[in-house]
Amino acid sequence: MASLPQNQSKKASRSSSGDGSQGVNRNASGQTVKFARRTSSGRYVSLSREDLDMSGEMLSGDYMNYTVQIPATPDNQPMETSVAVKAEEQYVSNSLFTGGFNSVTRAHLMDKVIESEVNHPQMAGAKGSACMMPACDGKVMKDARGADVIPCECRFKICRDCFMEAQKDTGLCPGCKESYKREEYFDSAQDSAHHPDHHNMTNSKMDRRMSLMQPDKSLSMRKKSSGDYDHNPWLSDTKDTYGYDRAFSSKHNNEDYDDDDDDDDDETDEGTGDEVHEQLEKPWKPLSRESPIPSAIITPYRLLIAVRLVVLGFFLSWRIQHPNEDAVWLWGMSIVCEVWFAFSWILDQIPKLHPVNRSTDLSVLREKFDMPSPSNPTGRSDLPGCDVFVSTADPEKEPPLVTANTILSILAIDYPVEKIACYISDDGGALLTFEAMAEACSFADLWVPFCRKHDIEPRNPDSYFSMKGDPTKNKSRSDFVKDRRRIKREYDEFKVRINGLPDSIRRRSDAFNAREEMKMLKHIRETGGDPLEPLKVQKATWMADGTHWPGTWAISARDHAKGDHAGILQVMLKPPSPDPLMGSGDEDKIFDFSDVDIRLPMFVYMSREKRSGYDHNKKAGAMNALVRSSAVLSNGPFILNLDCDHYIYNCKAIREGMCFMMDGGGHDICYIQFPQRFEGIDPSDRYANHNTVFFDGNMRALDGLQGPVYVGTGCMFRRFALYGFDPPQVDKIRQTVPDSDTHALRPNDFDPNLNVNLLPKRFGNSTMLCESIVIAEFQGRPLADHPIVKYGRPPGALRVPREPLDATTVAEAVSVISCWYEDKTEWGDRVGWIYGSVTEDVVTGYRMHNRGWRSVYCITKRDAFRGSAPINLTDRLHQVLRWATGSVEIFFSRNNAILASRRLMMLQRLAYLNVGIYPFTSIFLIVYCFLPALSLFSGQFIVQNLNIAFLVYLLTITICLISLAILEVKWSGVALEDWWRNEQFWLISGTSSHLAAVVQGLLKVIAGIEISFTLTSKSAAEDADDIYADLYIVKWTSLMIPPIVIAMVNITGIVVAFCRTIYSPTPQWSKFIGGAFFSFWVLAHQYPFAKGLMGRRGKTPTIVFVWSGLIAITLSLLWIAISPPKAATTQVVAGGGFQFP
């Protein structure tokens, strides 16, 4: 009957999509079920569970077909859709997908993801009952609550495959031998999920893609007969329409559809029309408001900028016209530095002319998108979806506990659960990160409902339990204290499990490797080999289910190293149901979640494929892999990007961002940048880690222009803008397409140079990815609820449930994260995160602004996100070095703002030009810091005499500087102390990191020497005694040498000049005071640096004293050699025998 070997399981007859009829080729002998499939992009996908157990020689081919001959009987019919969908979801959520270059995409079924018990039904590896059929290892089907779905009253547990076979053979239950009541089985399965409209959704809406397309009759029949959707006809349509293919067309255009589709379309059109009518009847309210800075502050501020600009011009003119003839070299250096400082100040100050404040109205957002209405009685949300990206690279420097807390804060966010999908990119491919994320998903089963029940803030458990103050404040539920005590105990156990994972993985791997050695030894003895010969056994890393980890091993091996491993993708939490699922109040449960929605957002673990010979492009490459895989799996029209140490501090942060994206003029916003806020910073903020001058001053000012720059984290993107398209030109689109809301849009409506046939050249050969682009564009439009909204979507268009994931879709997601996918495409050049700079964030934002998009700065009352920052001096300097090096790369690339297009505003162009130029200020700054010492050594000054003109200019410039600082502090809200700390660290970093960045950048441009940086370590806050212990650790680095030299030379110069002035027969105190004043000004800026060198309790490393002494002595001897004392003037001074040059 079958061409398979006798020992093959009966489950080999199951197709990859869960439908027994899929892939069927009818012939005279019966039906042939093929177990080989190629995706729409041409990749081979093997999804059979048995393929994992095949021998090595069977897997060596490019692809294989296994066939089973099944008699063509009337009983062999496609299974019910509801059962097929459940089977496919369970199969996908319990499988680890791997694949990549020249390798078959495989789905490894995992009954056990972590060693601890998993309870949530959405999670991979959730515990389940085994099938009671003999010789069957299948799992019983489950409903949305995780309860077993048992089709017979005798409670005989049976898996999906055995149940279908029993139905086809005799129709009798194997347990009680009674006939199955098929209708009751399906009804109970649906009712248990609490989906009142599940049947209708399955029969009609499930056949639609998220694009809200109205499939024609041929497509509908094709789907009904095969159980899979054929995208080829849609692709043919997109060549002409590039869009929604009659998504909201009028009823007279639907005559070609079959009767069932016509009825459903009429209902949809009627519901959409009612929705629009309801929205238009309501008074229109904006979701966000822009308020300018009060005129009493901003007008004097602008006036002072103009005054200082004029005074600077007169001052430089006076300085050039009055050289110091006695020290022309000193005068020349000072003039060059001052001219550059004036130019740098203009680039920094002029873009600050138009700061603005913005506010949002969350109540209006809820009223428009989440409130029940006659056309939406269940209150399903009409908000667009949002995919959250978290990136990590090394679990040793980025502790898994920190990353896990970030993931928990995302899973508990206050946003429609079905609209959120969370992705983590593990660039290290570490099993430690994989199991830590699985543990986080398991703990989320308790943490997320607890947060929703008691309205917890923040929803990062580590930060929540570390807060000081009364936790019961504003808590009305009587069981809060009890629940908090229990969840705290659960979290402590969770931390123990996370911290114990490294040892657990090591012990497990050692045990399995020892077993493999014993097997090899036994084989050698049985075959008569030499037992004394050393065994060559590769030390593998093993997963909890006893199989090899496909990623990086602890001891690197071929195909299992950090830069050489397969692509890995695991849907750890499958997509939730579209309707709320309330918890149970059973006594055996430790928490009462009877009135709380227990659903969890979709969560996906991803580690892109890495192979030697391919440039992985660091973080930018990882982010682009996330963009592609998420487009295939969830395709949220908006993307929130977070670092692994930046968690959601305000659970309504995404809603705040949506107020701008969904507002009337939000169609041309490419991203919403939130300010970065940090925890764990020392109270004095010694190294300006908070950087409030930039985040509250510069960024707020740019918000009044074309928008803030992208700073790498805490940013919500419009997916369509990331794809490299220009913003929609509303007027032009409406001229060419008069009814653009109801007609499909053409490719050149977005990009005049783009043709649908060229999509693979830009985005790669994934058809699913190309299909998702236009869907994301439509779903990201603002709500067309008022005539003022000229480019929007109809209300209620996003209430249709998303299609469940199938194995083919997940396999396609594995294909798009392979190392070869970006070859000969525009990824990294025009599409996605831009490559070629270590500061890929700034370049990516610049490219969007250069195409005409605008961005918005969203400052919320409660901080949206919080993260960690390096408080150690060395780590901070290296962080600034990386940023400055990226700016130098930008300056010497085509991303220089000088080469920008006309779509970039002039003041925005100056701001981006300053981003590329500011590191070069270090050259002039370090010279200027030595000028006071050189002046003191030589007895000369930068001017001939301290006359009244020089002092007036100096006084006027100083008063303008102080006045501008005070006014800037007023409109930005920055504390004066923070402003001073920023000035101090500007000089410290400018004389160390920025100078090194210029050198490294020039070496890369001129000599082609590549720059490599180490990952900034993230603190896990394990030292409870002193959370600032890292502040006092002194780590020597060559970046410290220039500031140390500047400090020692200035101190030496003050001492030398003071002694010379005292013992001089004609002391020139004015020159000494002038030089000493500027030297003290330099030293005052270096005070935090000096404290950092002292460490704890003044313990300075010996090397600091050694280097300082040697450098000071060398410079002193060098000066004596250059300017020796004159013999004619050497004499014994009256009153002492001291002699000095």
Cα 68 to its chain centre, rounded Å, is: 45
What letter would DSSP give residue 666? G
427 assigned to a ligand binding site: yes
Q: Compute the distance between CA of residue 507 and CA of residue 752 in angstroms, rounded to an integer.
A: 59
What letter would DSSP give residue 78? P
Active site residue 841: yes
> At 358, phi and psi to the nearest 5?
-130, 150
In our burial notation (b when 16+ CB lie closer than 10 A, e otherwise), range 1083-1097 reads bebbebbebbbebee
34 assigned to a ligand binding site: no
18's CB contacts (< 8 A; 6+ apart) are 84, 85, 87, 88, 91, 227, 806, 807
Q: Phi-psi region for residue 9, left (φ > 0), alpha (ψ -120 to 50) or beta? A: beta
In our burial notation (b when 16+ CB lie closer than 10 A, e otherwise), range 899-918 reads ebeeebbebbbbbbbbbbbb
**Nearest Cα residue to 578 out of 194, 147, 186:** 194
Can you spell out the DSSP letters for 1009-1029?
Answer: -----PPPP------SS-TTG
Cα dist from 1112 to 504, 996, 1037, 1118, 1125, whole Å: 54, 21, 19, 10, 19
**Nearest Cα residue to 813 out of 577, 571, 1022:** 571
Residue 20, token pair as written in the block: 């027994």
Residue 1119, token pair as written in the block: 């000066």
861 assigned to a ligand binding site: no
Residue 472, token pair as written in the block: 């019961």
**Nearest Cα residue to 424 out of 457, 458, 398, 462:** 398
Question: Would you call 142 helix, strand, or coil by DSSP?
Answer: strand
Q: Compute the distance between CA of residue 426 and CA of residue 419 in angstroms, rounded to an integer.
A: 23
**Nearest Cα residue to 416 out of 370, 374, 454:** 370
For tokens 């084989």, the residue is 523
745's CB contacts (< 8 A; 6+ apart) are 241, 242, 243, 244, 733, 737, 774
For tokens 């039904």, the residue is 121
- The residue type found at 120 is H
493 assigned to a ligand binding site: no
**Nearest Cα residue to 1104 out of 1115, 1096, 1092:** 1092
Of 427, 462, 703, 749, the catalytic one is: 427
619 assigned to a ligand binding site: yes
643 assigned to a ligand binding site: yes
Run of H or E including 484: helix 480-499
Q: Give yes or no for a contact between 164 and 133, defined as CB atoms under 8 angstroms apart.
A: no
Neighbours of 187 (CB within 10 A): 12
What letter would DSSP give residue 698? I
Residue 55, token pair as written in the block: 């021998």
H runs (alpha helix) in 46-173: 81-93, 160-169
765's CB contacts (< 8 A; 6+ apart) are 41, 42
Of 161, 685, 703, 841, the catalytic one is: 841
**Angle at CA of residue 749, ends 747 and 754, nearest 5°:** 40
Query: Which residues are bridge partners to 673 per DSSP?
Result: 715, 857
366's CB contacts (< 8 A; 6+ apart) are none
Cα dist from 835 to 309, 612, 651, 828, 886, whole Å: 38, 18, 32, 5, 11
Task: Report the binding-site residues for Mn(2+).
Answer: 619, 643
Q: Residues within the annotated binding site?
A: 391, 397-398, 427, 618-619, 643
Which residues are annotated binding-site positions for UDP-alpha-D-glucose?
A: 391, 397-398, 427, 618
Active-site residue set = 427, 841
